[in-house]
Structure 1
């Protein structure tokens, strides 16, 4: 996890340099700065920095894995990775609600009146999925 953090932090530095270069390069006295690309690059920098910081911070609190050992084999990282829900319809509900919410930005904010309940139902169902029904823990 430590190596992935370094990779993302290095990528963040590169994207920041590209964002500054792009912002200066597209800046002209006639048209002003090109805001969409510059903003997207600065947001990509922030995303890489957040992920890199999280991975670097988490790497200090957990044991180092096979990815941090340069002498490790691929098979050293095999085994159980965690528990994942075997089947769930809740991500589909969240995806439909999220798609409606983003369509609300395009077509009108009124569409949020239908998307927010769908998102809340999907989120509530996903959080409490293992507290009810056939997946209920005994």
Structure 2
């Protein structure tokens, strides 16, 4: 966590420095504001991570001599055969296009999104993948 905090701190310094250079050469307020806000958000994350790392024990990823088996054994479950993210992405695209073009497309996209999310949620409760 400490290393990650320092990486975000370096990112904050980088973006704030680039914001100054960008403003000097371009005099563009919008791009400079975006770079300053990016640096500020990176600083907030760096501050949180560095502040939190002082209150926690040293994590395995912060030690140079750590072994791979010291890390958490379970990071989550990954389903490599699942097709459900594809309809979820398609439905999200329909909703986004509906906000751009017409309201009925938002309703259609929300219905498809609801069906796709239910299918993704209950993927391992039916069929040959029941656990």
TM-score range, shorter chain: 0.5 to 0.7
Higher relative contact order (CA closer than 8 Å, sequence separation 6+): 1
TM-score normalized with structure 2 length: 0.60
How many residue pairs end up in the alignment?
Answer: 125
Out of 101, 108, 113, the position equivalent to 1:114 is 108
RMSD after superposition: 3.7
Distance 2:107 2:47 in 1: 36
Deviations 1:8-66 (A, max 9, x none): 22202321332243235322xxxxx352x33543454355346545654664556501x
Distance of aligned partners of 1:131 and 1:81 in 2 relative to their CA distance in 1, 3 Å threshold: closer
Match of residue 125, structure 2, among 126, 129, 132 = 132
Query: Equivalents in 2 of 1:6, 1:53: separation in Å?
Result: 9
State the 1:95 CA deviation: 2.0
Unaligned runs of 5+ in 1: 28-32
Are residues 50 and 115 of structure 1, via their aligned partners in 2, closer, same or farther at CA, if it must alter by over 3 Å? farther
1:92: Cα distance to partner?
A: 1.8
- Alpha-carbon separation, structure 2, partners of 1:58 and 1:93: 39
The alignment's TM-score, normalised by the length of structure 1, stands at 0.58
What is the distance in 2 between the residues matched to 1:11 and 1:45? 7
Q: Which stretches in structure 2 are left out of the alignment for 5+ residues?
A: none
Paired position in structure 2 for 1:16: 16
